[in-house]
Structure 1
Amino acid sequence: MLQTQIQLAPSPISATVDFEAPGVNHGFLRLPYSRDDAAWGSVMIPLSVVNNGAGPTVLLTGANHGDEYEGPIALFDLASAIRAEDVTGRIIIIPAMNHPAFLAGTRTSPIDRGNLNRSFPGRPDGTVTQKIADYFQRVLLPMADVVLDFHSGGKTLDFLPYCAAHILPDKRQQEQSFDLVRAFAAPWSVRMLEIDAVGMYDTAAEDMGKVFVTTELGGGGTASARTAGIARRGLRNLLIAAGAMRGDPAPTPTQWLDMPDADCFAFAEDGGLIEFLVDLGDPVRRDQPVARIFPVARTGLPAVIIRARRDGVMMARHFPGLVKPGDCVAVIGVEIEDEPC
């Protein structure tokens, strides 16, 4: 009974905009947060809502992790330039859904160390991060038909720039998701395998039957002109393909990759200084050395070799030069001829 009461408790977050109001409206999601420097303070998450006639609702989010920047760049840009007459339906724009982490430039929240993308379904009476997750779970996701959640590698990973969706039990939902991956037209498109899917925003959306698309666009805790351009162009392409924006898409060639199983991932069992022996996009063969880790406590010790566990393409790598035991150091994708059906 107590758990049921917790689930049904109202969210403490309130929106300063009307989600049904016509036109372009800018405001905030306001979460009361009492702290040392503001007894009656709030976490203010920027928000834009655009309504214009009949059409789908598309929920656009960035900075689910606060050190990933291509999504916020594309979404702050869209929010500043979008016109109601270009929209058919409703577009909800939240450039930095984990705003505390975004302001701190950290993957997790500086308030409670919460990883928003592992906090769903959240709790209305939980930590700040859990309250944000709960609001998305119970208020925003039910409004949406399509969800695009931007990611990149943050400070600890670097990726080939790709757009992705998941293999799903509902094949119609899966097909619609991969149609939008194709429309996004990143240089690479991926059939995604998650190695840590518990509590994810992705899963929350997909379990509600939403069409969910995500990205990994570069990394290293920054955005390049190229990756920001991919995000901006892909965002517009997806909105047009989803039926939420008027205009002509700007399609570009894409190469599809599959992540069929856990052999795609290589993990460090030793800490130290990592040297990569192949670069992103390079072909690799099973058992090929892709990196080596030098012990750093003393000289004269041999490096530990990290080998590919399958044939494929180097699609992601650890970013900083020092690694710890357990870190994911490389991801190998398998090239496929066309998108999965």
Structure 2
Amino acid sequence: MTAPSPITPTIDFDAEGAHYGHLRLPFSRDDSAWGHVMIPVACLKNGDGPTVLLTGGNHGDEYEGPLALAGLSREIDMTAMTGRAIFLPFMNHPAVMAATRTSPIDGGNLNRLFPGRPDGTVTQKIADYVARHLVPLADLVLDIHSGGRTLDFLPFAASHILPDKAQEAACAAARDAFGAPYAMSLLEIDAAGMLDTTVEEMGKVFVTTELGGGGTATARTVAIARTGVRNVMAHAGVLPGPVAPARSVRLDMPSGDCFVFADAAGLVEPCADLGDRVQAGDVIARVHAPERLGAAPVEHRAKLSGLLAGRHFPGKVQMGDCLAVVAVPTD
């Protein structure tokens, strides 16, 4: 028998109206023996209808989700809604407060720890509560990501290839409704422990994004997130009408050849920029060793033809880092 979650919500997710509170997680520590991790949450409910779960801050150095969702949770016109929207803008709140990908409390990467454990670490307990108590309420889950401090992406919404083709089509339709400049059929390096996998295994509609990166947000990427959230809510039937219908450029990641990983550590010389077309065999980056002169840089080449959709952001890489992502336009 699974243990109960130690997390207690301070709001009632079944109550009508707009409610703002916290997920309260006991956390005993040196500076507060009976302290708590307090994770902000909002629930907007207007009658019977579908439920959307809207999450950001899965990683603490990605800002479009937190900014867009925190604002929209205050601004959406309740009288126009049908159903329920649950806003969790700062899902890994300790990581958001530290501006780090992983939690400063336990080093946990929330998006590698689903479905979590109620008797585990702080991050595992957060994953467990989301997986067991919030996802089951939802018909559709939107989890907003960007590249954080170490990656940068073309702004895209994404869905996955799934065994259930009807579910796959429903996820792709929600992805397209988001209306990002690009729409990706996403191939994960490792899907184990991700919120994506947990939601999809429950048969739910799941959409994610990568909306930029570099450890910051821009006016453009936040605007894409805000419009995309409204469009997905409209697609789900929670809000009326699409806000800004747009046709995205469709991209595919057909195999692991989309990824280029650094074969050496050093300083990165980009040879292509995001959105550039590259051909298989093109040099897309060179890695220079800063320890000595006279040695040729290590060249890294595209394995297939397409668009440069993602890249390592800092100017220095370690061996094994993801250096670039090439996606194939399918339009």
TM-score, length-scaled by structure 1: 0.96
* Structure 1 position 124 matched with structure 2 position 118: yes
SS of residue paired to 2:104? coil
User: What is the CA deviation profile of residues 269-309 of structure 1, one whole-angstrom value per residue up to 9, with x for unaligned ones?
Assistant: 11000011000000001110000000011222210000000
Cα offset, 1:30, TM superposition? 0.5
SS of residue paired to 1:34? coil
Q: What does residue 223 of structure 1 align with?
A: 217
Q: What does residue 324 of structure 1 align with?
A: 318
Q: Please, which of 246, 254, 262 is the counterpart of residue 260 of structure 1?
A: 254
Structure 1 CA distance for aligned equivalents of residues 231 and 136 of structure 2: 23
Cα offset, 1:252, TM superposition? 2.2
Cα offset, 1:247, TM superposition? 4.1
Q: Please, which of 279, 285, 310 is the counterpart of residue 273 of structure 2?
A: 279
* Structure 1 position 181 matched with structure 2 position 167: no
Q: Which amino acid in structure 2 is aligned with residue 163 of structure 1?
A: A
Structure 1 contact 24–83 (Cα < 8 Å) conserved = no
Q: What does residue 142 of structure 2 align with?
A: 148
* Structure 1 position 51 matched with structure 2 position 45: yes
User: What is the CA deviation profile of residues 169-198 of structure 1, one whole-angstrom value per residue up to 9, with x for unaligned ones?
Assistant: 111111111111111110000001001111
* Structure 1 position 14 matched with structure 2 position 23: no
Structure 2 CA distance for aligned equivalents of residues 87 and 100 of structure 1: 31
Q: Which amino acid in structure 1 is aligned with residue 110 of structure 2?
A: L
SS of residue paired to 1:172? helix
Q: Which amino acid in structure 2 is aligned with residue 273 of structure 1?
A: L
* Structure 1 position 69 matched with structure 2 position 63: yes
* Structure 1 position 194 matched with structure 2 position 217: no
* Structure 1 position 211 matched with structure 2 position 198: no
Cα offset, 1:33, TM superposition? 0.3
SS of residue paired to 2:216? coil
Q: Please, which of 131, 147, 156 is the counterpart of residue 137 of structure 1?
A: 131
Q: What does residue 294 of structure 2 align with?
A: 300
Structure 2 contact 176–247 (Cα < 8 Å) conserved = no
Cα offset, 1:249, TM superposition? 2.3
SS of residue paired to 2:141? strand
Structure 2 CA distance for aligned equivalents of residues 117 and 46 of structure 1: 18
Cα offset, 1:82, TM superposition? 2.1
The runs of at least 4 aligned residues of structure 1 exceeding 2 Å deviation read 246-249
Q: What does residue 334 of structure 1 align with?
A: 328
Structure 2 CA distance for aligned equivalents of residues 201 and 248 of structure 1: 26
Q: Which amino acid in structure 1 is aligned with residue 254 of structure 2?
A: P
User: What is the CA deviation profile of residues 83-124 of structure 1, one whole-angstrom value per residue up to 9, with x for unaligned ones?
Assistant: 321211110000010000000000000000000000011111
Aligned residues: 331
Q: Which amino acid in structure 1 is aligned with residue 197 of structure 2?
A: T
Gaps of 5+ in 1: none
Structure 1 CA distance for aligned equivalents of residues 225 and 204 of structure 2: 21
Alpha carbons of structure 1 residues 274 and 210: separation in structure 2 relative to 1, 3 Å: same
Structure 2 contact 230–242 (Cα < 8 Å) conserved = no
Q: What does residue 92 of structure 1 align with?
A: 86
> Please, what is the CA RMSD of the aligned residues?
0.8
User: What is the CA deviation profile of residues 184-224 of structure 1, one whole-angstrom value per residue up to 9, with x for unaligned ones?
Assistant: 11000000100111110000000000100000000000000
Cα offset, 1:53, TM superposition? 1.1
Structure 2 contact 111–193 (Cα < 8 Å) conserved = yes
Alpha carbons of structure 1 residues 248 and 287: separation in structure 2 relative to 1, 3 Å: closer
* Structure 1 position 27 matched with structure 2 position 21: yes
User: What is the CA deviation profile of residues 216-237 of structure 1, one whole-angstrom value per residue up to 9, with x for unaligned ones?
Assistant: 0000000001111100111111
